[in-house]
Structure 1
Amino acid sequence: MISRIGFDDDAGILSISFRDTGTYLYYDVPAETFEAFCHAASAGSFFNELIKDRFRYARDPERRRFGPNA
């Protein structure tokens, strides 16, 4: 489901690339949430329980690239 994640610490933007639907940006995500996401046993379960429907998001119109993925 998830192929890559990245985080812009200064802006608090989480980038999630989904295999089937592309990249989405999630706004105002705490750095601690990203760190926990990196260490989650299941990225899909973590996303569904702690990110989906909890943060404002938009499809990445510029397909920006973030740092190393988790």
Structure 2
Amino acid sequence: MEMKRINAGKLRAIGYDARERLLRVELDDGTAIDYAGVGQEVWRRLSTASSSTAWSFYRDNIEEEFHGKRGVARSSSTSASRAALEDLFKPVDPPDNA
């Protein structure tokens, strides 16, 4: 599923699988929520909403109308960024004086 980056309220990314009628939202706390049975019109309205209205549309028309299954957002770029930061801040071994 292709994810569209978004910065609206707590939303950070949204994606939709039309064949499965599955909507995925990724939130700023790293959680992902999958909503089954979401129609294409709801997806169209969410994906074309402005950043100032997408969060309220999500809250009113998706979060309250569909049952979501929570998980963890798995972004390869996020994993790569985290690994780079961990490498940057890991302790340096003292030089060998042998």
1:4 alignment counterpart: 13
| Cα distance in 1, alignment partners of residues 24 and 61 from structure 2 | 15
TM-score (norm 1): 0.79
* 1:19 aligned partner: 28
The equivalent residue for 1:29 is 38
Cα distance, 1:35 vs structure 2: 0.5
Q: Distance in 2 between matches of 1:27 and 1:16?
A: 12
- What do the CA deviations read for 1:21-54 (whole angstroms, capped 9, x no partner)? 5100011000110000011132111111111121
Higher RCO by CA contacts (8 Å cutoff, separation 6 or greater): 1
Equivalent AA in structure 1 for residue 27 of structure 2: F
Match of 1:57 among 42, 64, 68: 68
Write 1 or 2 for the structure with the bigger share of helix. 2
Percent of aligned pairs sharing the same letter? 25
Runs of 4+ residues over 2 Å off in structure 1:
none
TM-score by length of 2: 0.58
Matched positions, count:
64
Residue 60 of structure 1 deviates from its aligned partner by 3.3
Tell me which structure has the larger Cα radius of gyration.
Answer: 2
Unaligned 5+ runs, structure 2: 1-9, 76-98
Change in Cα spacing, 1:56 to 1:3, as seen in structure 2 (3 Å) is same
Within the candidate set 44, 56, 63, 2:55 is matched to 44
